[in-house]
Amino acid sequence: MSGHEFQSYFPDSGSIDYSDTSTAIDEAALAELRELAGRYPQPRSALLPMLHLVQSYDGRVSPAGVKACAEILGITEAQVSGVATFYTMYRRRPGGDHHIGVCTTSLCAVMGGDILLDRVSKRLGIHEGEVTPDGAFSLERLECNAACDFAPVMMVNWEFMDNMTPAKAEEMIDRLVAGDKVSSTRGAELTSWREAERVLAGFPDGRANEGPAAGPASLLGLTIANEKGWAAPDQAPPLPEVAPEPAVPAAPEAKPASVRRTRKAQDK
């Protein structure tokens, strides 16, 4: 991004940033948070989607968001922040309009994930955990995205970019900088990270495209089996019932230490 200045950014780790009290959570947001809580038999089960909704409003898990979740669910703010700081998809500080993640777990690493991360980092002028000063991009090193068939994999606003190369990644970033429409390699058009967070919270935008569930590498065994007419063996007979363990007799009750000492003294 020539012409842009970049500033260093706090790595997105540690506790919730209580120094930044800005928030966009209004009555409408609170109503949506309550709606999410009402979707579950146990309202606290809604905490994860509620935190995604907080991120869609505030760009991070804000102090106001923590407070709202705690009050609606009847739990403590410490419990909310404990969850928010455990999972890496929840941000303590605002990310970019487009959040890029590059997988460098084993298979993606073998297929060039680290080189890809390095090229994206150089192209954006930021390191992992940082955001560009114009707020357009943030960068993160990701663990396996369960898309190893398509390694090396990049995520942009949680949409898959399969079989990436450094050249393809740079071209994609150039198009995003130019404001062009960019689509995931699985079809869905990229939105902003905040819009994607709203979908993750459970408010579909009508553009969902789940893409392939498994690639050719994962399905190779099934393909060969189909070609050869192989089938799974009949279901194994049920295991015989196991007799319950005999009850273990209770250990004799231990005498208090003072009694044992007294008897030992009397024996002498």
Token pair, residue 41, equals 């038999």
> CB of residue 100 vs ligand FES: minimum separation in angstroms?
14
Among positions 64, 107, 115, 177, the unique one binding ligand FES when judged by CB under 6 A: 107
**100 is a contact residue toward ligand FES (CB under 6 A):** no
Among positions 13, 106, 183, 223, the unique one binding ligand FES when judged by CB under 6 A: 106
Of the candidates 164, 172, 108, the residue with the CA atom closest to the CA atom of residue 137: 172
Among positions 47, 61, 103, 201, the unique one binding ligand FES when judged by CB under 6 A: 103
Among positions 144, 177, 200, 219, the unique one binding ligand FES when judged by CB under 6 A: 144
Of the candidates 57, 118, 126, 55, the residue with the CA atom closest to the CA atom of residue 91: 55
Residue 66 DSSP class: H
Instruction: Please name the amino acid found at residue 173.
Output: I
3-state SS, residue 98: strand
Distance (Å) of CA 172 to CA 22, 83, 180, 267: 32, 33, 9, 89
Distance (Å) of CA 222 to CA 149, 151, 211, 214: 15, 20, 19, 11
**120 is a contact residue toward ligand FES (CB under 6 A):** no
d(C-alpha 47, C-alpha 182), whole Å: 31
Site string for ligand FES, 200-239 (x = CB under 6 A): ----------------------------------------
Near ligand FES in 8-37, by CB under 6 A: none
Using CB under 6 A, which of the segments 104-112, 117-125, 169-177, 192-200 binds ligand FES? 104-112
**115 is a contact residue toward ligand FES (CB under 6 A):** no
CA atoms within 13 A on the CB side of 167: 0
**154 is a contact residue toward ligand FES (CB under 6 A):** no
Among positions 153, 155, 182, 188, the unique one binding ligand FES when judged by CB under 6 A: 153
Among positions 81, 132, 145, 191, the unique one binding ligand FES when judged by CB under 6 A: 145
Using CB under 6 A, which of the segments 139-147, 165-173, 228-236, 243-251 binds ligand FES? 139-147
Token pair, residue 202, equals 């459970």
Distance (Å) of CA 223 to CA 18, 51, 212, 235: 54, 41, 16, 21
**148 is a contact residue toward ligand FES (CB under 6 A):** yes
**105 is a contact residue toward ligand FES (CB under 6 A):** yes
* Interacting residue ranges for ligand FES, rule: CB under 6 A: 103, 105-108, 144-145, 147-148, 151, 153
